[in-house]
């Protein structure tokens, strides 16, 4: 993962998935099985989207979902 950038936290609760089965869903709302699928299938996409997906994966993997809930409340 790239060096931490606080703006990423805002972006994970405002950016929509641009393609695939979950197109249009907020990145932070993607199910864990979908994030795990990316991880198994050779990794996350390159660029900003991949960084956002990996950040959400790590947050959920470590049981820190409450961070996402708090961010969603603050951004709205």
Residue 6: its pLDDT value, please?
Answer: 82
Instruction: List alpha helices for 1-76, DSSP H.
Output: 7-12, 32-40, 47-61, 65-75
Cα–Cα distance list, 11 to 36, 41, 42 (Å): 20, 24, 23
The predicted model scores a pTM of 0.89
Residue 5: its pLDDT value, please?
Answer: 78
State mean pLDDT over 57-64: 95
Residue 17: its pLDDT value, please?
Answer: 97
For residue 3, pLDDT beyond 90: no
Residue 28: its pLDDT value, please?
Answer: 97
What would the pLDDT profile of 9-30 be if each residue is shown by its tens digit?
A: 999 999 999 999 999 999 999 9
């Amino acid at each position: 993962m790239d060096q931490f950038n606080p703006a990423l936290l805002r972006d994970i609760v405002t950016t929509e998935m641009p393609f695939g089965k979950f197109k249009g869903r907020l990145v932070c709302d993607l199910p864990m099985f979908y994030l795990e699928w990316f991880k198994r299938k050779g990794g996350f996409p390159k660029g900003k989207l991949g960084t956002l997906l990996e950040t959400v994966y790590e947050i959920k993997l470590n049981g820190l979902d409450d961070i996402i809930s708090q961010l969603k409340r603050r951004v709205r």
